[in-house]
Amino acid sequence: MIRIDIDPTQSVRLRGDLSIVADSRLALQALLMELRENPGDRSSLEAEFEAVKAEAWREIQQIQPQMSYLDVMREVLPRDAFVVEEISQVGFTAWYGFPVYEPGKLVTGGYQGNLGHGFQTGIGVKIANPDSTVVSIAGDGGFMYGVQELATAVQYKVGLITLIFNNNAFGNVRRDQIEFYEGRVFGSELINPDFVTLAESFGARAHRVNSPAELGDRLQGALEESKRGPVVLEIPCETGSEASAFRLLQPANYGR
């Protein structure tokens, strides 16, 4: 693997067999010119690529329980649905684990996203695309940053479907504290409301989903319910039970 990055400090995150410090546009132009002049006699790499993709997908499927829920979402949602991720265990997993078939359908802040942006962004995406299915996936910590906007969604009948993965924690912070600070957990475990009752108190429709097997029917029902306004699905997750999405996002940090 050849990594091309204009910032030399970034090469430690995803180590390639060869690292080139350069503007990617200029580097690729130079490489393409070299290939045109020296095409070689190499056979098709299609079979090799397919094998690599299959192996990568097997590794991705180990990120549980997030992938089990994302697999159900992909099965139920229309191909052109918008999915708005949040800084969360499931949000990070969606970066590489949720297949997207059209440009712009996975709405993400990437590494520049701030905790708490997802739910409100989802409302905006739905208002901008009223005839499309829009789903917000959030953790409990991030959702609580903008929970008051449920009132806005109910008032204006914004048919956003929100999945709250509730692990009663700032999951990334808690995991980092355990892994990098000798297990000293401070300020990262949360006391949460009953999200179903809370959403209903705003006038939204809400349900609790206890497993990936339950999500299919609930999500299918939410597609119909969202025609009349916002729908909230709370998914309880045991604190600390989710596999780290960063094992694949930042493999160098995990000894890979």
Per-residue confidence (pLDDT) for residue 247, from 0 to 100: 78
Residue at 126: amino acid letter? K
Domains of the chain: 2-37 (no CATH), 61-248 (3.40.50.970)
Task: Identify any residues that bridge with 152 across adjacent strands, giving them in sequence order.
Answer: none
CA 157, CA 141: separation in Å to the nearest integer?
24
Q: DSSP code of 157?
A: T
Is the N-terminal amide bond of 230 cis, ω within 30° of 0?
A: no
CA 135, CA 126: separation in Å to the nearest integer?
9
Task: Identify any residues that bridge with 84 across adjacent strands, giving them in sequence order.
Answer: 107, 136
Per-residue confidence (pLDDT) for residue 131, from 0 to 100: 98
Residue pair 116/156 in contact (Cβ under 8 Å)? The answer is no
pTM: 0.84
The rounded radius of gyration (Å) of the Cα atoms in the chain is 21
Per-residue confidence (pLDDT) for residue 174, from 0 to 100: 95
Which residues of the chain fall short of a pLDDT of 70? 251-256
Best CA proximity match to 100, nearest among 115, 85, 118, 89: 85
- Other beta carbons less than 10 A from residue 50's beta carbon: 10
